[in-house]
Structure formats: structure tokens, C-alpha cells
A and B are shown apart, each in its own frame.
Chain A
């Protein structure tokens, strides 16, 4: 358990409304990530952060923005939700592998299922 929580866990919204998803971690990790998961596409990186107020785009960043004002919180915002953004969203952190080589990997939060009608 990497101490990651996501909220809300489920959300249904309408096209055109703004939506913010929250990722919260308790272990002071520097790197945080937002992915979306769709059938047939695996996990695709939306945005990531390498420190407070330091963020960068991933491969599918159009229509999304992020903010990180505190180490523990990484927010993903859909300014105007569209049906194509219906997906499962996972937050992840980068941390040392447990019981393995001294290197980092990513650990995932429980996910948020978002439906845009």
C-alpha cells in the first residue's frame, strides 16, 4: 500500500461541466502521475508532476489540466467534460521497489470511474 487515495471513486456528469479529480498521497513522494485507462489502450499518461508547481504533459493531455500546490495533492481538471473523456482514471506515484533492486517504479491508487453523459 503506497498510501494513495483518489476522490471521488465514481462520478457521473454531463457534457460541458467542469470536473476535478483528486489524488492524495501520505508519503511525500516527489513524482505523481495521472493516467486514463480505456479498453484496448492500456494505461495512457495524461500529465505528471515532479514537484510542487512542477508539471508536464503526457501523451493524451488535450482537454485536461493539472495542479499541484502541495506535495501530497495532485489535481486533474477537465475544464469542459466530453463523452470521449469517459474512462477510468488512475493516479500513481513513483517510489522505491519493495524487496527488489534499489530503483523506482510506479504504484497506483484505486482509480476513479468517470462517466460523461
Chain B
């Protein structure tokens, strides 16, 4: 079953912060985060493997709450390069189910 992402879209000014949430109705063992620029392929950002663990990619970090079946992606001090659509993927036996995506627009 597809995970649910929120919000659908967010607009930021450079330097502002944002949080993207990903929740599932099924038990989660890992959450994979990707970013996709317009007209390009999704690019892997990070994977969260166990509850409460935080990972980082530049000033982008994430947390994973196994109990709540949720993961959150944190965009800190956003840069223009952070613009794109962010997807979470939840794993089930070598397959990933992706959320519908969150479009992030960072303006100067």
C-alpha cells in the first residue's frame, strides 16, 4: 500500500526550514527518500533503517519512528538547489512503494 506524504507542496524562501512527512498503514522496516528535479530521474538521498535514527545529506536530515510508522524529512536553511519533488518509499520484500510526492519550491 502506498505511503501518504504531506504536505503536497511547500514554498520556501532561501534559508527557511521545512518538514515533509511520510506515514504508512503497514509496519515499516525501512524508509527510502528520493528527490527528483523536473525532467530528471529520482535521485536517492538516504535510507532510514531503524526507529529514531537520523540520517543526513547536506543540511537535509530525516527521522524514522517505527512505532508510529512514520518518517519525516527535514530541510534546514533551504537553498535554491533543494527545489524539486521529494518522494518517500517504503520497502516490502525488495519492492518499494512510493508516496505521491511533495513538491518543494525554494525562492531567492
Interface residues of A (CB under 8 A from B): 31, 33, 40-45, 48, 50, 58-59, 90, 94, 97, 100-101, 103-111
Which residues on A sit within 8 Å (CB–CB) of B2?
42
Known contacts A100-B46, A106-B44: A43-B94 contact under CB 8 Å: no
Give the interface size bracket for B toward A. 20 to 34
Q: A43-B98, A111-B41 are known contacts. Are A105 and B87 too (CB-CB below 8 A)?
A: no
A103-B47, A108-B42 given; A42·B55 CB < 8 A: no
- The chain B residue sitting closest to A40, CB to CB, is B100
Which B residues are closer than 8 A to A by beta carbons?
2, 30, 32, 40-44, 46-47, 49, 55, 87, 89, 94-101
In the complex with contacts A107-B44, A108-B42, A110-B41, A100-B32 CB distance below 8 A: no
Are B44 and A103 in contact (CB-based, < 8 A)?
no
Given contacts A43-B98, A48-B95, A110-B41, contact A103 B87 (CB under 8 A): no
Answer whether A103 and B30 are a contact pair too, CB < 8 Å, given A43-B87, A45-B95, A97-B44.
yes
